[in-house]
């Protein structure tokens, strides 16, 4: 179905283009170039999308990013009110208890469960049952399912009753609270399906609201998936503090999040953005954290937690209840002035809260006393209660509908996140790149076996398939992949032992592909005489024997690599190749970023480069260069101290043969506070605009802004980035997620690896020093954007000729190689080491 849809869309676009050309010719005198254009049902071009939706790019252009001191709300502003704003419509407060349980961060998933999570859930069952007014939300199904497996049937029935009564709500319903920068949409969908299927199977309900309070930035791809999964509302927290301030001033912290391509409301999802610094109690009741902390009753005197502002909470008594209630109500009223409705959402919780029975009693008991006081004093015009996200959004929509108020519509994403000053969280886009590559490899390995088509086929042929060992292994693989989408896993922001725990959960299975494509398959063998034959015909297939390099200048005598051009046949394949005669110069540079010399430095989360910016990579010794040429591919490998860099041309039809394959193997384990960068420098006149993908699902325009610091102009690249001008587009397709930037016109740079000796004060308590020998893989593609490009046959073979006294690099119409190599040392006849 997808192939037919894409084919129809393609044919429609060709028809439209032809009609436009015809229209221009027929209407040149009238100036009407669109009168003959063919309409595409259900599809509009970008210039036709005028629906009044605001975009985050325009907000970024507007904001000064000056960060003045806002007083009690340091990143905001002073909030005032008269006091009579709620006389006609009382303030409706909904306090939502929650406990944020990371499936791995400072401890492993298993250790967190044993030490904290199981006690939270055990107490939840008891404490919610004691009082029907008490409520709670829970997000991480990975933990909830593990706990469910360890409780008896009586307790399971208690859980079902709490869910049915609306006291316990499972929010988002994902296996984890997923990262939204590095994760591919397939893995995001996998963890969402895994969680939703578990909930449906065991509790018979579907989540209706999303809860993402800790991912380090937010993607519209996730909003789209949630909407498609049946959710209507969502809550987000970590957005740039300047964006939060702007939205608060405009009362647009609640909005309809719309996809970039959509001009209709069909993809809209109601989104609530928390206005303040964090999701903990001091930053959720109102703008003054010193006051709000006094109402976190887990921090009562004598406990293990305290308030940094040195004013401790007080137990609510008859003697102090009036003063306490009015102090808290003032914060509620100030916060409500940032929203368009008199319904106020206030979270109550933090990381791994409600472990002990005493915290449940302290929080629920003291807040219930305050709520009762509000009820007994109607002149305060406030109604307060415990609730869930469904309670809040239900009340919100009722009030908005009754008042005829509509929420604004917004497009775009919330990257790159900054929580204060110039502290941009662009470091984690690359941190632990070895595991980011491993994540994508596991995803590709699982993709075919867990597809619905494959599972239906297996069920038809084997009704016992769901109980088979194969299915159980696939389920384990899915859940391991899902677990790694956690916002402290694929991000590379967990402690060393936790990272190792994630890495040892990987599963490798055979993966046939679903699409027709030409690709190169490499296998290491122990004989140079190995050959490949077609399994059906027995005929030999084109292969190439390559050396396996034991060291940069010494080939292995025990192992060889068989490279076979393998064409996988399926239903359809369209080959479109441009004969443009277009030449673009592209240079590859490698550079180092250091970190600041002052106290605050780069770490697992933050990228805080030194004042000098990127410095060219230099080596005392000349690089060793290897050249290979054969019928399947030709390549050049340059070996430096900290990395090897290979550029390969595949002699294949299709896009694979029309792009450069770039691979790097990086080892920076000897370095201190350094980050290695690969920069592509071209003559593409893209100004300050470039594009990156979001989760391998959609492309997002980026604008490099001089008013922002260097680290703010780095963005997540899950699988692609490109530069373009009126003539051409240069695309970098990536097999792993990394940070990417275009700091100057024509440039595109990716951060390959980071080694940082210190913590960046975001809770991890360590640097990033567990670096490994790490491979990264890309394809560099040139496309013609000028009109009238002709379709042509297979791209011509590029000969890489090695001469005794230098290199002669031929060129294609697509790529020009500038080579100035010279012979460094002759090892033996016909074998040269080049620098």
Catalytically active residues are: 214
- 3-class secondary-structure state, position 497: helix
Q: C-alpha dihedral over 716, 720, 725, 729, to 10 degrees?
A: 170
Query: Looking only at Cα atoms, what is the longest distance across the chain?
Result: 97
| Residue listed under structure tokens 């298993």 | 110
Report the C-alpha gap between 162 and 132 in whole angstroms. Answer: 9
Q: C-alpha dihedral over 385, 386, 389, 395, to 10 degrees?
A: -10
Contacts of 571 (CB under 8 A, 6+ apart): 3, 516
- 3-class secondary-structure state, position 524: strand
Beta bridge partners of 549: 555
- Annotate 716-747 with DSSP letters as a single string: EESSEEEEE-SSEEEEEEESS-EEEE--STTE
Report the C-alpha gap between 99 and 348 in whole angstroms. Answer: 8
Half-sphere exposure of 563 (CA within 13 A, CB side): 20
- Annotate 658-708 with DSSP letters as a single string: GEEEEEEEE--TT-SSEEEEEEEEE----TTEEEEEETTTEEEEEE--TTS
Report the C-alpha gap between 637 and 665 in whole angstroms. Answer: 11
- Look at phi and psi of residue 761 and say left if phi exceeds 0, alpha if psi is from -120 to 50, else beta: left
754 contacts 640 by C-beta, under 8 angstroms: no
Report the C-alpha gap between 809 and 834 in whole angstroms. Answer: 14
- Quick one: CA dihedral 158, 161, 165, 169, positive or negative? positive
Give, for 98, the enclosing helix (H) or strand (E). strand 91-100
Report the C-alpha gap between 698 and 468 in whole angstroms. Answer: 37
Report the C-alpha gap between 203 and 148 in whole angstroms. Answer: 11
Report the C-alpha gap between 529 and 244 in whole angstroms. Answer: 64
Give, for 350, the enclosing helix (H) or strand (E). strand 343-351
Residue 297 is classified by DSSP as: G
Q: Which two tokens stand for residue 468?
A: 């088979």
- 3-class secondary-structure state, position 788: coil
Report the C-alpha gap between 772 and 775 in whole angstroms. Answer: 9
Give, for 419, the enclosing helix (H) or strand (E). strand 418-420
Other beta carbons less than 10 A from residue 40's beta carbon: 14
CA angle 183, 189, 194 (to 5 degrees): 115
109 contacts 479 by C-beta, under 8 angstroms: no
225 contacts 173 by C-beta, under 8 angstroms: no
221 contacts 695 by C-beta, under 8 angstroms: yes
Write down the number of H helices and E strands in the chain: 17, 37
- 3-class secondary-structure state, position 537: coil
Of 388, 372, 354, the closest CA to residue 162 belongs to: 388
- Annotate 175-237 with DSSP letters as a single string: SS-B-SSS--HHHHHHHHHHHHHHHHHHH-----EEEESSSSSB-HHHHHHHHHTT--EEEE-
728 contacts 582 by C-beta, under 8 angstroms: yes
């Amino acid at each position: 179905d997808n192939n037919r849809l894409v084919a129809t869309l393609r044919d429609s676009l060709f028809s439209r283009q032809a009609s436009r050309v015809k229209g221009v010719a027929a209407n040149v005198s009238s100036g009407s170039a669109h009168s003959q254009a063919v309409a595409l049902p259900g599809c509009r071009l970008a210039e036709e999308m005028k629906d009044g939706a605001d975009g985050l790019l325009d907000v970024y252009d507007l904001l000064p990013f000056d960060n003045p001191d806002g007083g009690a709300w340091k990143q905001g502003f002073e909030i005032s009110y008269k006091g009579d704003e709620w006389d006609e419509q009382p303030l409706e407060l909904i306090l939502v208890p929650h406990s944020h349980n990371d499936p791995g961060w400072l401890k492993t998933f298993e250790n967190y469960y044993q030490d904290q999570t199981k006690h939270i859930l055990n107490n939840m069952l008891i404490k919610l049952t004691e009082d029907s007014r008490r409520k709670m939300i829970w997000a991480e199904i990975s933990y909830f399912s593990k706990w469910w497996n360890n409780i008896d049937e009586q307790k399971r029935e208690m859980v079902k009753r709490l869910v049915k009564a609306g006291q316990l709500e499972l929010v988002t319903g994902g296996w984890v609270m997923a990262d939204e920068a590095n994760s591919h949409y397939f893995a995001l969908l996998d963890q969402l399906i895994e969680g939703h299927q578990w909930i449906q199977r065991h509790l018979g309900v579907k989540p209706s609201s999303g809860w993402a309070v800790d991912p380090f930035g937010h993607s519209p791809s996730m909003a789209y998936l949630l909407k498609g999964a049946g959710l209507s509302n969502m809550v987000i927290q970590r957005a740039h503090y300047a964006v939060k301030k702007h939205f608060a001033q405009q009362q647009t912290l609640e909005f309809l999040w719309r996809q970039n391509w959509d001009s209709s409301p069909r993809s809209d999802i109601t989104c609530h953005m928390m206005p303040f610094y964090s999701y903990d109690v001091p930053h959720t009741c109102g703008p003054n954290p010193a006051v709000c902390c006094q109402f976190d009753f887990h921090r009562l005197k004598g406990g293990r937690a305290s308030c940094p502002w040195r004013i401790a909470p007080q137990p609510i008594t008859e003697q102090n209840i009036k003063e306490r209630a009015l102090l808290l109500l003032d914060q509620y009223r100030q916060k409500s002035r940032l929203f368009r409705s008199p319904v106020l959402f206030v979270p109550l919780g933090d990381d791994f809260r409600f472990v002990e029975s005493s915290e449940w009693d302290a929080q629920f008991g003291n807040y219930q006393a305050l709520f009762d006081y509000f009820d007994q004093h109607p002149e305060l015009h406030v109604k307060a209660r415990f609730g869930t996200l469904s309670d809040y959004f239900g009340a919100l929509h009722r009030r908005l509908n009754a008042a005829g108020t509509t929420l604004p519509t917004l497009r775009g994403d919330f990257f790159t996140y900054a929580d204060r000053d110039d502290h941009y969280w662009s470091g984690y886009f690359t941190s632990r790149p070895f595991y980011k590559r491993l994540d994508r490899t596991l995803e590709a390995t699982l993709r075919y076996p867990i597809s619905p088509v494959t599972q239906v086929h297996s069920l038809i042929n084997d009704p016992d398939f769901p109980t088979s060992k194969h299915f159980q292994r696939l389920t384990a693989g899915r859940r391991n992949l899902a677990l790694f989408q956690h916002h402290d896993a694929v991000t590379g922001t967990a402690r060393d032992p936790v990272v190792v725990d994630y890495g040892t959960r990987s599963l490798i299975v055979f993966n046939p592909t679903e699409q027709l494509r030409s690709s190169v398959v490499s296998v290491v063998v122990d004989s140079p005489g190995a050959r490949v034959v077609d399994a059906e015909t027995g005929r030999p297939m084109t292969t190439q024997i390559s050396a396996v390099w034991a060291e940069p200048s010494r080939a292995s005598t025990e192992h060889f690599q068989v490279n076979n051009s393998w064409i996988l046949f399926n239903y359809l394949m369209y080959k479109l190749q441009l004969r443009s005669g277009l030449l673009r110069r592209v240079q590859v540079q490698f550079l180092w970023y250091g970190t600041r010399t002052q106290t605050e430095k780069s770490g697992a989360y933050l990228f805080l480069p030194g004042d000098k910016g990127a410095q060219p990579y230099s080596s005392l010794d000349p690089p060793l260069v290897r050249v290979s040429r054969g019928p399947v591919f030709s390549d050049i490998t340059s070996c430096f101290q900290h990395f090897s860099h290979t550029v390969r041309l595949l002699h294949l039809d299709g896009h694979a043969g029309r792009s450069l394959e770039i691979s790097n193997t990086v080892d920076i384990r000897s370095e201190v506070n350094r980050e290695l960068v690969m920069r592509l420098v071209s003559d593409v006149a893209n100004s300050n605009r470039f594009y990156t993908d979001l989760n391998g699902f959609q492309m997002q325009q980026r604008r490099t802004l001089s008013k922002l610091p260097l680290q703010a102009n780095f963005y997540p690249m899950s699988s692609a980035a490109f530069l373009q001008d009126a003539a051409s587009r240069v695309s970098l397709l990536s097999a792993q997620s990394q940070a990417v930037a275009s700091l100057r016109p024509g440039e595109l740079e990716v951060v390959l690896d980071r080694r940082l000796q210190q913590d960046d004060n975001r809770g991890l308590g360590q640097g990033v020093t567990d670096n490994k020998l790490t491979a990264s893989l890309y394809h560099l593609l040139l496309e013609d954007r000028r009109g009238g490009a002709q379709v042509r046959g297979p791209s011509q073979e590029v000969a890489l000729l090695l001469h005794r006294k230098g290199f002669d690099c031929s060129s294609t119409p697509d790529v020009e190689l500038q080579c100035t190599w010279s012979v460094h040392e002759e090892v033996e006849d016909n074998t040269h080491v080049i620098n």
